[in-house]
Amino acid sequence: MPTRITGARRTVIAALAVLTLSGVTTVPVQADAGAGDRGKDRRLLRLIRSMTLEEKAAQLFVLQVYGKSADTTDPADVARNRRLYGLDNAAQLIARYKPGGIIYYSADPPNVTDPQQLAAFSNGIQRAAMATPIPIPATIATDQEGGIVARVQPPATQSPGSMALAAGRRTGDARAMARITGRELRAIGINQDYAPDADVNVNPANPVIGVRSFGSDPALVSRMVAAQVDGYREGGVTGTVKHFPGHGDTRLDSHTSVPRIEHTREEWERIDLPPFKAAIARGADSIMTAHLIFPALDPSEDPSTLSKPIITGLLREKLGYKGVIVTDALDMKGVRDKYGDDRVPVLALKAGVDVLLKPPSFDANGDGLFRVQLNAVVNAVRGGELTERRIEESVYRILALKKKRGLFRDPYVDESKVGQVVGKPASLATAQRATDRTTTLVKNDARLLPLRPGARKVLVAGWGVTTTRAIADEFTKRGATTAVQESGVSPTPERIQQTVAAAQDQDLIVAVTNRAWDIETSTPGNPHNGPGQMNLVKALIATGKPVVVVAARDPYDIAWFTEAQTYVATYSYTAEALRSLGKVLFGELSPAGKLPVTIPVRDKPGQTLYPFGHGLSYRR
């Protein structure tokens, strides 16, 4: 057990270490380095050894807070934070517990209003962190994958999602978008992005990954992931490659159930592993675990986040990974079913992880579980189940990464310069050019496309209030008269009848789908949308009117209505994607995207409907 340093001497030593780390002084700091500490930064080691066990354990946690500022006094946010932590806001949380980091969310309710607000929020978090007796800058993280997963919305630049980028096939676009995303996040104080997604989506029914993956081909996914690892680093943020050992072949969502991967060890090495190996070879700073059971890798059937054979045996030892390993959120059902919430963080640390992300918000009594999990880690050390040295190993990796990002030198952002970095015209133009290379024309049997601009009556129907309206606007710009019938994710028979009636006096119908799948709709954790969208498309086709079907998310929808003669995949419903769609529909842009997945025949996964690499273009 290391020697305990307390009181004023502890504060002075910690301050000296931080000053040295920030480059303010070069006074040598001695450390009693053991054999396992050779080659490590002695200033970081001394800083760690000035911390109490509780402070070391807290440094492992990245927590959710409510509010839009570090010192929020909003009554609703204060009430939520008190339930979680017994404290009012992020500033009080940091002063009391000194956690390693904070994660921003865009819902439930959101932390995010706009980039300027986030920059002020981030500075508030860092001020609170640097005001503690041992001033350690905070990790501030979010999920900004691009496409359908983007916590920071416009005016921030919106990257195409992973599958869209892969449809464009350009690693340069993937790298450039990660670099732009990283720069914009760093400008608003976010220093870690939980992206890119390295899962190989070989299961079209995957309810949680889908277009978040670069595709179904391990080689393509590997190239794109490696490019984004480089891009995020160039942008100044820590990228986080996820979800090890691979979440691409599940039919269940680990947020709400416990998925199983039935791949053999050989299949894992051939399908799931290559992108992670590529990321490690590029020097990935952080890797996120998956909450799923993988019997071929661990016969105990522990969730991989809690599996020592997977995290230590494979990731650390076989693959030689030395970076920071972060759990997926600990409030997800995939990691909570087998063991109690008080055991999960201890088992994750024993498995080999470093960062414990987002403990469950509330237990059965409505109390926050962070304190339960923090105490569990501390008590595991005091009881001998974990060693303090083991905790220090993870704390060292976390602090070394913070130092690498320059946070000890300067954890703050210049709020006056946010507008000069976030959403720059050049960045927006880069995002649009990249998106323009992704739109995929899968089917054009009726030779309906490209359309000619001019007067016609167009009905835009189907999923998405904003999406259907934006597509209608693309037609209006080009001289059409448009009507919109938004029907939601599961249109009722009555809603379908209304839409068909509205189509009767139209010249053209655009039907928008978002996972129009009818797959095991009653299975917990498999939230597919049922037959409503499929039935709507079929009913619109039956009118005899020309119909363009637009898959605004997963490209697999065509398998549920193969009678559709015209089918376009956009992979997301960002403004950029819908502008690109408009250009493609009217021939201003020849569709350039190629399918990054295989689309199988419905209910026959072994039979191919459209192969990987398929994509039509216009003859000039």
Catalytic residue status for 528 = no
Report if residue 619 sits inside a domain: no
377 and 439 part of one domain:
no
Give the integer Cα–Cα distance in Å for 274 and 341. Answer: 32
In the predicted model, what is the mean pLDDT of residues 561-568?
98
Query: Which pLDDT does position 38 carry in this prediction?
Result: 81
Q: In what order do the strands lie in the sheet with 192-193?
A: 324-326, 286-289, 238-244, 192-193, 139-142, 101-103, 61-64, 356-357
Do 302 and 213 reside in the same domain of the chain?
A: yes
Q: Do 401 and 464 sit in the same domain of this protein?
A: no
The residue with tokens 């307390």 is 6
- Whether 615 is in a domain gets the answer no
pLDDT at 336: 83
Q: What is the mean pLDDT of the chain?
A: 92
Task: Determine the Cα–Cα distance for residues 210 and 515; give it in Å rounded to an integer.
Answer: 10
526 and 408 belong to one structural domain: no
**Boundary residue ending a domain (421, 455, 470):** 421
pLDDT the model gives residue 30: 37
Compute the distance between CA of residue 273 and CA of residue 8 in angstroms, rounded to an integer.
49
Checking DSSP bridges between strand 457-462 and strand 508-513, what pairing results, if any? Answer: parallel
Burial of 578 (0-12, 13-18, 19+ CB in 10 A): buried
Domain C-terminal end among 388, 421, 454: 421
Which residues on neighbouring strands pair with residue 63, listed in sequence order?
A: 102
The total of other beta-carbon atoms located within 10 Å of residue 533's CB is 28
Residues 440 and 388 placed together within one structural domain of the fold: no
- 465 and 405 belong to one structural domain: no
Residue 132's pLDDT is 96
Model pLDDT, residue 108: 79
CATH of residue 231's domain is: 3.20.20.300
Of the chain, the percentage scoring pLDDT greater than 70 comes to 91
Answer whether residue 618 is part of any domain. Answer: no
Give yes or no: residues 318 and 392 share one domain: yes
* 447 located within any domain: yes
427 inside domain: no
> Is the residue at 620 inside a domain?
no
Number of structural domains the chain divides into: 2
pLDDT at 581: 98
Within this chain, do residues 406 and 510 fall inside the same structural domain, yes or no? no
* Active-site residue (options: 328, 331, 554, 557): 328
As a whole number, mean pLDDT of residues 324-348 equals 90
Q: Is 54 buried (19+), middle (13-18) or exposed (0-12) by CB count in 10 A?
A: middle
State the residue for tokens 């676009």.
Answer: 173
pLDDT tens digits, 243-301: 999 999 997 777 777 889 999 999 999 999 999 999 999 999 999 999 999 999 999 99
Q: Is 73 a member of any domain?
A: yes
Identify whether residues 410 and 510 lie together within a single domain. no
Domain that holds residue 523: 435-610
Q: Return the H-helix or E-strand segment holding 445.
A: none
Look at residue 347 and tell me if it is in a domain.
Answer: yes
Cβ-contact 245, 314 below 8 angstroms: yes
User: Catalytic site residue 328?
Assistant: yes
421, 455, 482 — which closes off a domain? Answer: 421
User: Which segment of 36-40, 49-53, 92-96 scores lowest on mean pLDDT?
Assistant: 36-40
- Do 445 and 407 fall within a single domain? no
Model pLDDT for residues 115-164, shown as the tens digit of each residue:
999 999 999 999 999 999 999 999 999 999 999 999 999 999 999 999 99
**Local confidence band at 4 (pLDDT 50, 70, 90 cut-offs):** very low
Distance between CA atoms of residues 239 and 222, nearest Å: 15
Split at pLDDT 50, 70, 90, the class of 363 is: low
Name the strand (E) or helix (H) holding 371.
helix 370-382
One domain, residues 159 and 271: yes
pLDDT confidence tier of residue 207, bands split at 50, 70 and 90: confident
The verdict on 486 and 402 lying in the same domain is no
The predicted pLDDT at position 27 comes to 36
Q: Which CATH number is 592's domain given?
A: 3.40.50.1700
Contacts of 563 (CB under 8 A, 6+ apart): 538, 541
Question: Of 71, 114, 255, 342, which is the active-site residue?
Answer: 255
Model confidence at 39, in pLDDT bands (50, 70, 90)? confident
Q: Categorize the per-residue pLDDT at 620 as very low, low, confident or very high, splitting at 50, 70 and 90.
A: low
> In the chain, what's the furthest Cα-to-Cα distance?
83
439 near 592, Cβ under 8 Å?
yes
Dist. CA 16–CA 302, nearest whole Å: 43
- Write down the pLDDT at residue 361: 79
